[in-house]
Amino acid sequence: MSITNPSRDKHGQYPESPVIGEYRTDNERTPRFNPEASGVMFLAGEPILLTLAGARYAFMHQGTIRPGETGYALRKFSADFPCILSANVLEGTAIYWDIDENAAGFPVGAAKLAGDVTNGYILGYATHHYMKNPLPEISGGKVICGTTASTTIYLTSIPIASTVKGTVPVA
């Protein structure tokens, strides 16, 4: 509940008022601590699933976080991820992060189509880099964002709880 508006002093100034919530940063990133005992390093750009208020959300690490260090996990992102695609991917398609399969030498998973994942979660939706030339390939009025020959796919995070398949551990 707000307080009664105080009167100005003779110089036209208001008295100091209390600060209820002190702004620190926006909600696009959250601190992520990697315990010393974990024995693992969180990789820059590595997708993770975090629980917030009982729901699970896809994040990605902003940078490398070694054991005993704190870094940031990003809630809102657009990024290229290693992928294994079984078909063409149109703009707007939900893409999962498969924690059981590694793509192109990356040690922590692969972006895949929903039907190709048994243990993973929605990481984001397919989009494309802004470009003027060459013009993107179109199918059914939508940009083709990836093909079976693609080694990476550009994704934008989805600001809702992630759909999970399988038994994905939650960080």
Statement to judge: residues 99 and 70 lie in one domain: no
Please count the other Cβ atoms lying within 10 Å of the Cβ belonging to residue 171.
13
State the residue range of the domain holding 68: 21-76
Q: How high is the mean pLDDT of the chain? A: 87
In a domain, 60, yes or no: yes
Number of domains in the chain: 2
Say which CATH number the domain at 145 has. 2.40.300
In a domain, 15, yes or no: no
In a domain, 168, yes or no: no
Statement to judge: residues 28 and 59 lie in one domain: yes
Q: Per mean pLDDT, which of 31-45, 97-111, 133-147 is the most reliable?
A: 31-45
Alpha-carbon distance of 171 to 19, in angstroms, equals: 33
In a domain, 7, yes or no: no
Alpha-carbon distance of 70 to 49, in angstroms, equals: 17
Alpha-carbon distance of 163 to 15, in angstroms, equals: 50
- Contact present, 66 and 41 (Cβ < 8 Å): yes
Does the predicted TM-score (pTM) go above 0.85? no
In a domain, 72, yes or no: yes
